[in-house]
Chains A and B, each alone.
Chain A
Amino acid sequence: METTTTHLKRCDVIALKGRFDSNTAPDLEKTLRASMSQGVYDLVLDMAEVDYFGSAAIRALVMAYKECRHLDRGDVRLARVNQRVQHVLDLAGISPLMQAYDDLTLAVGSF
């Protein structure tokens, strides 16, 4: 798995690539926390190249969502979620609560 963070004016875009299982989810959490520790609470997660997103990765995502939205200081939004990951987010009941965009530019523009 690989994560790449790009700092934009409006938000951080974090591109995720590969397999996010219990072994690699702690690295995802670290990446998300790195943005938050710099005071960036508006995050876009670009999910286009995610092959696998297990329960540990979902927990990291929910952790970031809670922390970013705390005191209304920001939000976590998803971009380009593929069908496989979408199915998992649907099962876990995440989809109705997290804003998702088919287009990365729209996701960034939403902030």
Chain B
Amino acid sequence: MAKLYELCITSQLSNLTQIAEFIAQRTALAGLDEDQAFAVQMAVDEACTNAIEHAYEGRQDGEVRVCCYLESRDFVVRISDRGRPFDPSSVPSPDICAPLQDRQVGGLGLFLMRKLMDSVEFRFDAVQGNEVVMRKHRQAGQR
């Protein structure tokens, strides 16, 4: 099993910068190019925002864990929290073709995560809580 790197923060939006720095460092060391690194950073930022705003509903003392590791050709990020169960199917997909006047708020973060990553999976376990696992394929020749 490849080495696993972990960052644990409390559920405060002000910690998003620290998470972005952690991901920037890990993606660089994994040899992801700038575009891939940016995609992972943004997807992680949106996923952690969901955990803080929705799973913990504004509570600031919750725990959000961000783990990353390499698995064959994939850079994998696992984000977990112990907040309220999150059901991604309850979030409507935004209609990105609608006139801006008619755009509904919400759902955009999840939509972007799916666009930016090669796979996004959600799990909920009564003991472990919410977990989202996202993968970005590395190209051949990347470390």
Contacts and interface: CB of A to CB of B under 8 A. Distances in A.
**A and B are partners in one complex rather than unrelated chains:** yes
Interface of A: 19, 21-23, 52, 54-56, 58-59, 62-63, 65-66, 69, 84, 88, 91-94, 97-98
B7 interface: no
B109 A55 contact: yes
B28 interface: no
Say which size band chain B's interface belongs to: 20 to 34
Contact of A23 (B14, B38, B115): B14
29 contacts: A19-B17, A21-B13, A21-B16, A21-B17, A21-B49, A22-B45, A23-B16, A23-B17, A52-B42, A54-B46, A54-B49, A54-B109, A55-B109, A56-B49, A56-B109, A58-B108, A59-B105, A59-B108, A62-B100, A62-B103, A65-B100, A66-B100, A66-B101, A84-B38, A88-B112, A91-B96, A93-B94, A93-B96, A94-B100
Contacts of B41: 52
Contacts of A54: 42, 45-46, 49, 109
B100 A55 contact: no
A97 B99 contact: yes
